[in-house]
Amino acid sequence: MHLSYEFRYNKNPYYMMYFKLFLTTLIAGAVIVASVSLAGIEAPSPGVYTERPSTISLFFVALIYIVALTIVSAIAKMMKTNIFYNGVRLLKHRVNSQVKGAALTNIMLTNTLLTIITLGFYYPWAKVRLSAFFAEALSVTSTSSLDDFVQNESGKIGATAQKWVSSLILVLVLVGK
């Protein structure tokens, strides 16, 4: 007997996700273009002297650029994570993902800014913080005791399925804290 792992694939949520990301990217691009325009940054014309934009203006534009890209990236991660994990089934057990966009955006913005400010030294802590956030957003809906499930299925499965069971147990340990 093989352990039944299933991923219920429905292409419509993925199409909708990429459409929303396209619209979000357009809005982020419009915000960046508007900030460049407001900062007075122009492309130089040959033979015409133009004043250089101030350092503050360049900093302002760079900050808006980083924030816009981080927001788009957070929205993409949130949608992909929720769509994927909400489609995972292991026999009668379901994995649920409840990643919230605002919380993920907040974590990603602070991680990005702290990594920049510390010249990259914060990066390992940022990765751990993000991984812990994703682990806390996962849960498992089961129809029976998971201990019984592991005991009944551990002798019947191959190496790949054994890794999935180990991963499921790890998720349960992280979620159950």
Distance between CA atoms of 43 and 38, rounded to whole angstroms?
A: 14
- CA distances from residue 136 to 5, 61, 98, 146 in whole angstroms, order as listed: 22, 34, 9, 19
Q: Output 36 or 103, whichever has higher pLDDT.
A: 103
Q: Is the pLDDT of residue 164 over 80?
A: no
Query: Is the pTM higher than 0.85?
Result: no
Q: How remote is the C-alpha of 67 from its chain's centroid?
A: 15
Helices (H), the chain: 11-38, 55-85, 101-117, 123-136, 146-153, 159-175
Q: Read off the pLDDT of residues 85-132 as tens digits, 9 standing for 90 and up.
A: 888 887 778 889 999 999 999 999 999 999 999 999 999 999 999 999
Q: Which domain holds residue 15?
A: 5-175
| Contact residues for 3 (Cβ-Cβ < 8 A; gap 6+) | 90, 91, 153, 156, 157, 158, 161, 164, 165
90 φ, ψ (degrees, to nearest 5): -130, 100
Determine the 3-state secondary structure of 96 from DSSP.
Answer: strand
Domain count within the chain: 1
The predicted structure's pLDDT at residue 158: 64
d(CA 158, CA 156): 7
